[in-house]
Amino acid sequence: MSPATASRTRWRLLVGVLVALVALSAAAVGGLYWLDDRFRHPEPDSGRPGAWMSVEANEVSLFTRMAIPAQADDIRWGYQKGFQDDFAVLAFRIPQAGLDAFQGRLHVSSWSESKYIESVDLNGFQHIGAPDPSNASPLLCGGYISPGTAKNVATRICVAPRPDGTSQVWVSAFHTP
């Protein structure tokens, strides 16, 4: 074999090895991206942290420690499994005439007008297809903590009137140490 042929053969081998390394690196990066996406967005009902679970409205009502009024309409709910603390959202409409009685049954010490809604709550309400509370005005919010056997539950409630004579209610709750 001539020196020129040997040099070309080594050069081709080097280029082939480099191409294989680049392809393997691209496959590894793609695989890591896929794994990262799977961990960030777990399959529903997988039981993994961050997964939205299929539960009944009464289970979410028990978790939030808030009874859904009998006259409630357009009830939407969701329950997300957490790493340490679970999270639940509930949204419904009630007739404007029943709003005072509804608010009177809650353990909220004071209601205040709010413009800011926690991003985790907004994501939860968006997930269940509820109206966006940050667009409602006036928006009255309050909250309470319910003691539990293992953990306490912090519940936030926001209420806003609607043009159709009803009030929209948004509820979010999470375990708290």
Say what the pLDDT of residue 22 is. 84
Mode of pairing for the β-strands spanning 166-176 and 87-95: antiparallel
Q: Extract the tokens encoding 20.
A: 């294989």
**Residue ranges making up the domain that contains 163:** 52-176
Q: What is the average pLDDT value for the chain, to the nearest integer?
A: 84
Statement to judge: residues 22 and 58 lie in one domain: no
Say what the pLDDT of residue 36 is. 59
Per-residue pLDDT reduced to its tens digit, 68-122: 999 999 999 999 988 788 899 999 999 998 898 998 888 888 889 988 888 888 8
Statement to judge: residues 30 and 56 lie in one domain: no
Per-residue pLDDT reduced to its tens digit, 141-155: 999 888 877 778 889
What CA–CA distance (Å, rounded) separates 88 from 78?
6
Q: Where are the alpha helices (DSSP H) in the chain?
A: 3-40, 57-64, 99-105, 119-128
Alpha-carbon torsion 83, 45, 119, 154, what sign? negative
What CA–CA distance (Å, rounded) separates 142 from 112?
7
Statement to judge: residues 56 and 138 lie in one domain: yes
Instruction: Report the share of the chain in percent with pLDDT over 70.
Output: 88
**Is pLDDT above 90 for 15?**
no
Statement to judge: residues 156 and 94 lie in one domain: yes
**Is pLDDT above 60 for 37?**
no
Note the residue count of the chain: 177
Statement to judge: residues 31 and 80 lie in one domain: no
Q: Residue 87: CB partners within 8 Å, gap ≥ 6? A: 79, 80, 120, 124, 172, 173, 174
What CA–CA distance (Å, rounded) separates 170 from 114?
13
